[in-house]
């Protein structure tokens, strides 16, 4: 599933393709239950801004927002209208006044696309964005302190912190020397400082590398990222930890495969 870095890269690419462009047509396949069947309210409107909340992309049209969630396999790819051939997994094609379109492809159909009013009441509750600059050690303490449960579960809970998924949670916890099954109640001031730094550092590095190459991830140009080549623990079961050389463990925690180093994550 695309996580915050991949979604942020798509957002930045979408700005180049859609901002200040008028929407001339939106064609929906009608085969995707997570996608509205028609988008009449945004036809003829100009895209004023493209923003992101956690893993959600938002195209701004005055008081309305076109909300996009890529789900597990969603892609947004930009094409020339004259040469593009609609594919079997294209569920929405957004046409702009410069002769281009953005195709939303989603072969697993877990994504979403719908129009919302400015209050975004149709979105589920979201915690502070993991990369908007306000996730300081003090803010992390505020949103996590007093919560029961394991640290990794809190990182994956979008209503606590938005944008982090399984892959980057593993990398962030390794970077911060914290074990995924660590009880939140045992965290100290230094732990919050390490965690805040690691969240920012890992996500910024991933974005600089173009995200991670996932089976279904592409930027709007179709390009793939290479941050997965820098993974310390994710997908490296049995290999040596880059920090302490202990073998990387892979266990199911909170229903997700979790990669971590028992030698240096406490």
Q: Which residues are catalytic?
A: 2-3, 55, 256
Neighbour tally for 263: CB within 10 Å: 15
In contact, 173 and 196? CB cutoff 8 Å: no
Greatest C-alpha distance within the chain: 59
In contact, 187 and 166? CB cutoff 8 Å: no
**Any idea how long the chain is?**
266
Distance, first Cα to last Cα, the chain: 27
């Amino acid at each position: 599933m695309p996580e915050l870095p991949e979604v942020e890269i798509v957002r930045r690419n979408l700005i180049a393709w859609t901002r200040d462009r008028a929407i001339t047509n939106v064609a929906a396949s009608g085969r995707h239950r997570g996608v509205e069947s028609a988008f009449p309210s945004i036809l003829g409107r100009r895209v004023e801004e493209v923003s992101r909340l956690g893993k959600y992309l938002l195209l701004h049209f005055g008081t309305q927002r076109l909300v996009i969630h890529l789900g597990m396999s969603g892609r947004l790819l930009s094409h020339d209208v004259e040469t593009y051939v609609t594919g079997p997994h294209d569920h929405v094609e957004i046409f702009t006044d410069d002769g281009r379109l953005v195709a939303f492809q989603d072969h697993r159909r877990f994504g979403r696309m719908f129009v919302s009013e400015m209050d975004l009441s149709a979105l589920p509750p979201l915690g502070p964005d993991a990369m908007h600059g306000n996730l300081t050690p003090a803010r992390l303490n505020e949103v996590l302190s007093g919560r029961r449960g394991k640290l990794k579960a809190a990182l994956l809970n979008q209503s606590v912190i938005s944008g982090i998924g399984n892959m980057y949670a593993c990398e962030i916890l390794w970077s911060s020397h914290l074990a995924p099954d660590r009880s939140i109640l045992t965290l100290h001031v230094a732990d919050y400082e390490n965690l805040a730094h690691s969240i920012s550092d890992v996500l910024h590095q991933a974005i600089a590398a173009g995200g991670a190459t996932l089976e279904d991830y592409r930027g709007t140009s179709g390009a793939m990222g290479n941050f997965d080549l820098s993974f310390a623990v994710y997908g490296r079961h049995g290999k040596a930890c880059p920090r302490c050389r202990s073998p990387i463990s892979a266990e199911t925690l909170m229903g997700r495969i979790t990669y971590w180093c028992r030698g240096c994550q406490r």
